Structure 1
């Protein structure tokens, strides 16, 4: 029969004691880092030779679907770094998910409003990006709400 000491010597799971909203923020940040990096890889990004700094003229598409540019990829990388940095506390992780969700909903609206072939399409975005931005915005807001229910642990 194992006593209380046996449990204290067990290997600890790094996620134990970490608030769900912090794990959610860190996970979202990690995914953005991965997507930002993949946007610079030929083969994963189709028409890589058409990758431009910014603007709708960039013909590169991540996974052959999502229009990207160097600026777009750098924004993903920056958003990922922010997610990891802000997931150090419950308050900041929640702010990252709520703020990021709001940003992606604004990007969705931007994508609906801007002509894909206009100079105003600087990020650039296409219809697939628009749908993804809507999903990301709603998903991040849902994570902030649902994962944040576990109290305000550090």
Structure 2
């Protein structure tokens, strides 16, 4: 068979929809993590602390951030890129990180934002963003991970 024939079979290197979704989410987390360290994007940047009450900086003037909070976003993105190389890894990332952000949402709702327990730190906007991220990530794993009928 001619190697240029359209009927020749070649291994595909195309990413699955699940991997593509995980890579996209991972890049969003990396971008947000980096943006949290940029003064003009993060208001009160001079008040960016390592964690907790030492940080009064706000990403986009809305979401309370700290160095720890930004690092969590960066680590989430790096882990996502590492796991997204396979469909199984992508699913593990989307479901696992999605569950983590849902737990972080519950945590943020349960603590007093003015207390030492708010060590990341989070505010109400962060809490609802964490909820949305968790739902979207788990939803993406379900919607893009469905097996196609091979008949």
TM-score (normalised: structure 1): 0.87
Q: 2:33 aligns with which of 33, 36, 47?
A: 36
Corresponding residue pairs, total: 142
Runs of 4+ aligned structure 1 residues displaced above 4 Å come to: 4-8
Please provide the CA RMSD for this pair.
1.8
Q: 1:135 aligns with which of 94, 108, 132?
A: 132
Deviation of residue 142 (structure 1)? 0.2
Partner of 2:49: 52
Structure 1 residue 124 corresponds to structure 2 residue 121: yes
Runs of 5+ unmatched residues, structure 1? 9-14
Deviation of residue 18 (structure 1)? 1.3
Paired with 2:6 and 2:126, the residues of 1 have a C-alpha distance of 48
Partner of 1:22: 19
Structure 1 residue 112 corresponds to structure 2 residue 109: yes
